[in-house]
Amino acid sequence: MAPSKQYDEGGQLQLMDAERIEEEEECFESIDKLISQGINSGDVKKLQDAGIYTCNGLMMHTKKSLTGIKGLSEAKVDKICEAAEKLLSQGFMTGSDLLIKRKSVVRITTGSQALDELLGGGIETLCITEAFGEFRSGKTQLAHTLCVSTQLPIHMHGGNGKVAYIDTEGTFRPERIVPIAERFGMDANAVLDNIIYARAYTYEHQYNLLLGLAAKMAEEPFRLLIVDSVIALFRVDFSGRGELAERQQKLAQMLSRLTKIAEEFNVAVYITNQVIADPGGGMFITDPKKPAGGHVLAHAATIRLMLRKGKGEQRNKDC
């Protein structure tokens, strides 16, 4: 039988089931555990200063990048990686074991039953979900709804966790969270307190915010990371075909970081994307637009949602 809803004295739905949070605290190994394996605490502090707060995240870095951290020699990096490997199981596993591991995946409701059915239950953790479309097609509105639904308990198809929001276009509006929270019967102030927000102005700033996010996710129960939009600053900071190769390389690094965050902390990553005109779409294509970012972005996203305008205030979606 499903657990009953829990309300406070004011009739508001309580946020985040504490027991569930405690059960999931050990989904990653803290970088501090390296000290018990003989690693100097000073070297652990250097890793944390570089944005590495878990052993899982450490193993997602190449030795080349680790030796780039000031004060870490090749010998020290080898010793650190060897210690991390003892704490983690990074080798092969059977399909049955992977199936059991996949049970930790959480599906967060979008607030739309039709869209949830299309997604197989909602936005998944451990992967990137991309929504692309022209302006006013509903990408940011979906992001605002997810900010609230993520904080619902698991048995109500929520994520039972906090939300991190990186805004590259200045479109986040906290006042829009209030009516959405009221729709779900939640305390709007409590919902807003569980959302951390940052405005990014350059692609470098955007990447640095992701590096700093690891510290927060290692300490608090986050379940969703939103980047709205992932491509906007790259289109501004890189111009012309002469810089296209460098732009795509930097974009790939950004997307790789997002994927690692999703897998390291079992969070869902929701990114919005812009569209560009597709002159090669052909004369028989009624809407010759395609998502920006090229193949690099297409390969990074596990799920791609195309949102388009309908009649009036109607919005259509394809998966």
The answer to whether 254 and 236 are in contact (CB under 8 A) is: no
CA distances from 168 to 61, 178, 231, 234 (A): 26, 22, 9, 10
The 3-state DSSP class for residue 68 equals coil
The answer to whether 235 and 292 are in contact (CB under 8 A) is: yes
Instruction: Return the pLDDT at 88.
Output: 86
Helix (H) or strand (E) holding 165: strand 162-167
- Is residue 278 pLDDT above 80, yes or no? no
Say which residues have a Cβ less than 8 Å from residue 190's Cβ, sequence separation at least 6.
12, 15
CA distances from 205 to 96, 110, 201, 202, 208 (A): 41, 29, 6, 5, 5
Helix (H) or strand (E) holding 108: strand 107-108
Average pLDDT of the residues in 122-145: 93
Instruction: Return the pLDDT at 279.
Output: 67
- The better pLDDT of the pair 136, 287 is held by 136
Instruction: Return the pLDDT at 3.
Output: 39
Q: Tokens in use for 273?
A: 């994307």
- Is residue 302 pLDDT above 50, yes or no? yes
Q: Are strands 268-273 and 128-132 parallel, antiparallel or unpaired?
A: parallel
Angle between helices 203-219 and 244-265 (to 10 degrees): 10
- Is residue 280 pLDDT above 70, yes or no? no
Average pLDDT of the residues in 90-95: 86
Q: Any idea what DSSP says for residue 30?
A: B
Instruction: Return the pLDDT at 285.
Output: 59
Instruction: Return the pLDDT at 93.
Output: 87
Alpha-carbon distance of 43 to 258, in angstroms, equals 25
- Is residue 200 pLDDT above 50, yes or no? yes
Instruction: Return the pLDDT at 315.
Output: 56
The pTM of this model reads: 0.85
Instruction: Return the pLDDT at 14.
Output: 54
Task: Give the pLDDT band of residue 309 (cuts 50, 70, 90).
Answer: confident
Instruction: Return the pLDDT at 211.
Output: 87
Domains of the chain, start order: 32-87 (1.10.150.20), 100-318 (3.40.50.300)
Closest CA to 117 of 104, 107, 130, 127: 107
The 3-state DSSP class for residue 282 equals coil
